[in-house]
A and B are shown apart, each in its own frame.
Chain A
Amino acid sequence: MGALVNALVSAFPALLGATELTIACAVVAALIALALGIPAGFGRVSRAPLVRSLSTFYVETIRGTPLLLQLFVWYYGVSIVLLTLFNLDIDTTVYQVLTALNSNSFFPTGGVSSFFFAVVGLGFNYGAYMAEVVRAGIQAVDPGEVEAAHSLGLSQFQTSRLVVLPQALRLMIPPLTNNLITLVQDTSFLQVLGIAELSLVTYGFTTAISSPSIRWTFYGVALLEYFVICYALALVSQWYERRTAHTLAGAH
């Protein structure tokens, strides 16, 4: 028991830092996902064939391949393509930018390219899932209301802003939160690119310790942390659903 407590206490700062990194990765990836998913979701219901086929291609390709392989494609594939075609190296670019800002002492010794491609890969992956949520939300709005808005003289943009989006957003919130929950869980995939987030740090501690009880305690702590984050999000989603349940029932 003493050994267990000692191991946990000595690992505490590392675990705390790893949890912070996990949350930071999740937040950045979620922002990228939203920035990609909302336009792609609108693109999927667009009337322009090029826009529609481009966003369909993005969504179907990403949703049809595993995240793990996508991360490899980003880290080994896209980085090489950027290097050979555009002579663009993420590490060098970031270093130059930091130098221009007189703050290149912030540049991490391990480089930033794995972090960059991991977060961008995660964001691109979830962008496709967010796009499906956005599309479903838009298509759930009664087309009669759009026609009514058009006949009242509202422009396409006004119809989207005043009629479609207020209803669609309310429908989108619960599935978007579900996607956020799986996004937080899938930050554990970033360990394959060597990002020291919660799962990799836990794995490192457990492989260094041969005592079964300490191993299980470490995994219990890690799983509990993920559980707390994700369950809190799930509770928020449930609360929101309950709060808007009768409003939505009235809308239909």
Chain B
Amino acid sequence: MSRIPAPLRFVGMVASLVIVFGAIVSLGLGALDKAQNNGTTGLFNLGALLGYDLHFLQVQVSVIFTQTDHTGTPFHNYFVQGLATTIEFCFIAMPLALVLGLVLALMSRSPWRVVRTPARAYVEFFRNTPLLVQMQAIYTSFLLFPSTFFNAFTAGIATLVLNYAAYECENLRAGLAALDKGQGEAAATLGLSYPQTFRLVTYPQIVSVVLPPVINDLIYMFKDSSILSIITIAELTERTQDLARRFGFLSWQFYFLGAALYLALSLPLARLARAVEARLKSASFQPKFDLATASLIILGGMVVVGWVCGVIQEPISPGAVGAALVQLLAATVLAVLIVAGFVFVPGGLVYLIGSLIGAVRRSLARPARGAESGPGVAVSR
């Protein structure tokens, strides 16, 4: 049992479940037929059920592989393009979300309240409101000024980045909290500067804590990107819906196919997350390369792959490549600007109210504490 590789076992499991389910259903149908119509067929008529399924499967396969839409795009390209768009959005949004999440995590660990409060307000707000409503709010606002900066693409990227920056902030904060304070002091004693300490001492330890939840979040983002279909982005769900609308008699078969494609990508990713977690937790784990550089390359590579996924969907010309690049840059700038706006405007309000309350409290509590502030000064003199 344990020698069979995991994916094969899963396929076997699915196949056996289908067979068992089919047998039960056909048995039930046969019994029903006998009870109602005095049918003469046998109770166990697997052929009838499988025949029905096989007929539709045949039609579906022929639709996907032989037919084209009015522009001449074959329907199997719909799935490829949809998958490419989904990957494009995930791979561009995730690195950006990680970078902004790191900024937010460092901000929320700051000793100064003026830096900490806005970041906390941002994170709590975005973690406690639905992604879909955030997306609709951003998109309907963007619709007021349609341009290179404000369109469905940048709205989609901005939503994913804004929402996931909050979650990545929490992951990274957990990683930072797991650090031993003494190591930073030891590194400072050894004469390392703050950037050096971060790169060589702090960072590798953060990675081992943060990487598994980040891969999990990538899986979540992969699934959550399906909501982009609501704002007219032609990713996998939208393409599936499109096919289901075109072929109404095959609609649920296409929905099942789309779900199977999502499953086919997210299951290996989940396995990868589990493997990475096990590897990082094992005592013998020794990174053979500079982790900081490696992760920068990986994150940059993800953005490039995402951008390429966007480019290959259209006939390649310098104009199309340039337009895709401009879109990517616009989305990046916009996401950064929106995060900054969200952190500093409502966060600033929260801070103002909080500091006012604090000032009132302190002014009320001053007479009692006034006498105690003396000794500290006296000792230092």
A: residues with CB less than 8 A from B are 53-54, 56-57, 60-61, 63-70, 72-73, 76-78, 80-81, 85, 181, 185-189, 191-192, 198-199, 202-203, 206-207, 210, 212, 215-216, 219, 222-223, 226-227, 230-231, 234
Contacts and interface: CB of A to CB of B under 8 A. Distances in A.
Contact of B259 (A53, A69, A185, A191): A69
Contact of A227 (B129, B136, B227, B266): B129
Most buried by B among A65, A67, A226: A65
Interface stretch (B150-158, B189-197, B250-258, B292-300): B250-258
Contacts of A78: 252
A226 B240 contact: no
A76 B252 contact: yes
A160 B25 CA distance: 34
Contacts of A223: 125, 129, 133-134, 137
Contacts of B134: 223
Which 7 interchain pairs have the tightest Cβ spacing? A77-B252, A66-B226, A219-B137, A230-B128, A185-B130, A66-B223, A188-B130
A217 B75 CA distance: 42
B14 interface: yes
Contacts of B125: 223, 227
A192 B244 CA distance: 15
Q: Binding site of B, secondary structure by majority: helix, strand, loop or mixed?
A: helix
Contacts of A212: 141, 144
Given A64-B270, A73-B255, A57 B133 contact: no
B62 interface: no
Given A56-B13, A226-B133, 19 more contacts: A53-B13, A68-B229, A69-B240, A72-B241, A73-B259, A76-B255, A77-B255, A80-B251, A85-B25, A188-B131, A189-B132, A191-B132, A199-B133, A202-B133, A206-B140, A216-B137, A222-B133, A222-B137, A223-B137
Interface string B14-34: 100100000001000100000
Nearest to A220: B137
Given A64-B263, A69-B240, A189 B227 contact: yes
B58 to A, nearest CB: 17
B171 interface: no
Nearest to B52: A84
Contact of A234 (B128, B237, B240): B128
A102 B7 CA distance: 53
A192 B255 CA distance: 14
Contact of B136 (A76, A219, A226, A230): A219
Contacts of A188: 130-133
A74 B106 CA distance: 43
B274 to A, nearest CB: 12
Contacts of B241: 72
Interface in B99-138: 124-125, 127-134, 136-137
B221 to A, nearest CB: 11
B44 interface: no
Contact of B226 (A69, A77, A222): A69
A199 B132 contact: yes
A203 B140 CA distance: 9
Contact of B263 (A65, A67, A192): A65
Nearest to A78: B252
A199 B223 CA distance: 20
For chain B, which range describes its interface: under 10, 10 to 19, 20 to 34, or 35 or more residues? Answer: 35 or more
Contacts of B127: 230
Given A66-B237, A226-B133, A77 B128 contact: no
B186 interface: no
Contacts of A207: 140
Nearest to A22: B130
B262 interface: yes
Contacts of A73: 252, 255-256, 259
Contacts of A63: 266, 270
19 contacts: A53-B13, A57-B13, A57-B14, A64-B266, A65-B223, A66-B223, A66-B262, A69-B226, A69-B259, A73-B252, A76-B255, A80-B251, A185-B130, A187-B130, A191-B132, A203-B140, A215-B141, A216-B137, A222-B137
B353 interface: no
Interface in B230-253: 230, 237, 240-241, 244, 251-252
B174 interface: no
Contacts of A76: 244, 251-252, 255
A199 B130 contact: yes
A19 to B, nearest CB: 13
A15 to B, nearest CB: 13
Contacts of A56: 13
Nearest to B259: A65
A223 B259 CA distance: 29
A227 B166 CA distance: 14
B267 interface: yes
Given A85-B29, A185-B129, A188-B130, A68 B141 contact: no
B277 interface: no
Nearest to A84: B52
Contacts of A65: 223, 259, 262-263, 266
B204 to A, nearest CB: 27
B217 interface: no
A36 B251 CA distance: 27
Nearest to B248: A76
Given A57-B14, A66-B226, A207-B140, A226 B252 contact: no
